[in-house]
Homo-oligomer: A and B are copies of this chain.
């Protein structure tokens, strides 16, 4: 039997009017700002009125280090949400919005897959409710105001060589990475080296995802460091008086978006910060709102647990006062095999030995997550090619780690295929056994925070950083930024900084190439290895195949 594609399944969805989905959560329709018939924003007024209500249980879905085999983290997040509802629980899902640019490069959506999807998936992968466009506008308004300030006399004495605020565009456009602006003579300003990042890499995106309300948003925007003077003193967004107008541009974008799963369960899709130079989780506003409205909230974090879950715990939970009741680590037999040394082309053949060898990667993630004081369950996201013996090998291994692994078939069967996991997760969450604590204290020196993450999560022997970087960290401590958490930027493919080092490496070093202060978002980015903040398009961009068919449906986007 030929399987249906994700888009074919999504098109057959029996969507309910979004007001009905909101009604199920107790949101009156006057507080749902509709965008079409199947998307809505939840009003800030309604959210403010939830204050004081009890929170539901927060469940984090994370994963092993990603491999080209695919893990299905979003699919499992959606599936688990549907599963919890199917067993009679009131559950909501919180995931990130998709970036538009990459959709025109390589295929791939961000709305789950198979029978565990969020709809309308086409719109979620295009303009959606315009949040990313608003972020682009707010970011670039600040950029324009910086050059405009210099143009009209530069009263703030901005050192034109030290403008650190770039411009953004939600597009894969390598030509914009490194540009010279303000050419063409007097009327166009002072030429200087500049550049563009993709919108998801904007600090404005990270701020929107961490801000608790509009007031906090404006304060954080004001805190952004845009440039330095010749004496290296910082110039803030607030000094340019851009924070008010940026807040106006983001007012609507700050309201979380409500959509639904294929099974008509509520999903909040809001914010989408890069998981490398930012923290990679959906917005705090969406998560805290969902926790007031549902008994169980299933959310996810970008990349593998060493990056995504670590930042979720140490940045998002710390800052927002959240604590997960249970963590689900997604693994697949195929990914275990790849971690065990099997090439992608050979994944179709049974290889229990390779599965067992690859399980070391999973084992370390389980241990790491447990070190935050939270209980762990493993979800084996089932592929048709998996054999019983391979699945059993994963289950047996996880048992040796003091956890349990549950086979899930939500991709093929929707909630029906994930009820066992849902039941177990609900039991664990209800048992209140979680004793969450971040990995390091706020007052630990910045370099020691980096060492803590490197040694306890990556299991590295040492952190390598030259004097310039250590001095920079000390300067920030002296300037009052010492209690910020660390936002690690490294490859997602390995515990180490070498993307080819699979499994569970030890004895390695973590070289720090660069550190950056995100004073508005409130973290220090520590860059280990290359970091790409503006992707390019491939030789044959998927844009060439994207078009409307005769029925007016979108083809080629997925």
Determine if A345 is an interface residue (Cβ-Cβ < 8 Å): no
Determine if A126 is an interface residue (Cβ-Cβ < 8 Å): yes
Segment of A52-60, A239-247, A266-274, A348-356 engaged in the interface with chain B: A239-247
Segment of A71-79, A183-191, A387-395 engaged in the interface with chain B: A183-191
B552 touches A251 (CB 8 A): yes
Interfacial chain B residues near A245, Cβ < 8 Å: 104, 543-544, 546-547, 556
Determine if A181 is an interface residue (Cβ-Cβ < 8 Å): yes
Segment of A31-39, A276-284, A471-479 engaged in the interface with chain B: A31-39
Segment of A7-15, A164-172, A451-459 engaged in the interface with chain B: A164-172
B171 touches A175 (CB 8 A): no
Segment of A90-98, A134-142, A441-449, A511-519 engaged in the interface with chain B: A134-142
Contact-residue bracket for chain A:
35 or more
A147 touches B175 (CB 8 A): yes
Interfacial chain B residues near A545, Cβ < 8 Å: 244
Number of identical monomers bound together in the oligomeric complex: 2
Contact with A147, one of B30, B134, B173, B249 (Cβ below 8 angstroms): B173
Report A223 CB to chain B, min CB distance, Å: 16
Interfacial chain B residues near A127, Cβ < 8 Å: 130, 133-134, 137, 249, 252
B252 touches A144 (CB 8 A): no
Determine if A161 is an interface residue (Cβ-Cβ < 8 Å): no
Interfacial chain B residues near A145, Cβ < 8 Å: 537, 541, 543
Determine if A44 is an interface residue (Cβ-Cβ < 8 Å): yes
How far, in angstroms, from A104 to B174 measured CA to CA in the complex? 29
Contact with A181, one of B130, B144, B179, B214 (Cβ below 8 angstroms): B179
A244 touches B547 (CB 8 A): yes
Contact with A175, one of B100, B144, B554 (Cβ below 8 angstroms): B144
Interfacial chain B residues near A141, Cβ < 8 Å: 104, 171, 543
How far, in angstroms, from A554 to B248 measured CA to CA in the complex? 7
The dominant DSSP class at the A interface is mixed
Contact with A140, one of B171, B177, B241, B244 (Cβ below 8 angstroms): B171
Report A295 CB to chain B, min CB distance, Å: 30
Determine if A431 is an interface residue (Cβ-Cβ < 8 Å): no
Q: Which residue of B lies closest to A123 (CB)?
A: B252
Report A135 CB to chain B, min CB distance, Å: 11
- Given contacts A34-B35, A141-B543, A539-B152, are A557 and B174 in contact (CB under 8 A)? no
Determine if A529 is an interface residue (Cβ-Cβ < 8 Å): no
Interfacial chain B residues near A539, Cβ < 8 Å: 152-153
Contact with B along A113-154 (1 / 0, CB 8 A): 000000000000011001001101100110111011001110
How far, in angstroms, from A187 to B532 measured CA to CA in the complex? 11
How far, in angstroms, from A177 to B182 measured CA to CA in the complex? 7
Interfacial chain B residues near A396, Cβ < 8 Å: none
Report A530 CB to chain B, min CB distance, Å: 10
A541 touches B148 (CB 8 A): yes
- Given contacts A180-B183, A214-B548, are A536 and B174 in contact (CB under 8 A)? no
Q: Which residue of B lies closest to A544 (CB)?
A: B241
Determine if A178 is an interface residue (Cβ-Cβ < 8 Å): yes
Determine if A329 is an interface residue (Cβ-Cβ < 8 Å): no
Interfacial chain B residues near A244, Cβ < 8 Å: 543-548, 556
How far, in angstroms, from A256 to B140 measured CA to CA in the complex? 27
Interfacial chain B residues near A180, Cβ < 8 Å: 179-180, 183
Determine if A227 is an interface residue (Cβ-Cβ < 8 Å): no
Contact with A178, one of B44, B171, B178, B183 (Cβ below 8 angstroms): B183
29 A–B contact pairs at CB < 8 A? A30-B37, A33-B37, A34-B36, A104-B141, A127-B137, A130-B130, A133-B133, A140-B173, A141-B543, A143-B173, A148-B174, A148-B536, A148-B537, A151-B174, A151-B536, A179-B179, A179-B182, A214-B552, A218-B547, A241-B544, A244-B543, A244-B544, A244-B548, A244-B556, A245-B544, A247-B547, A247-B548, A248-B548, A251-B552
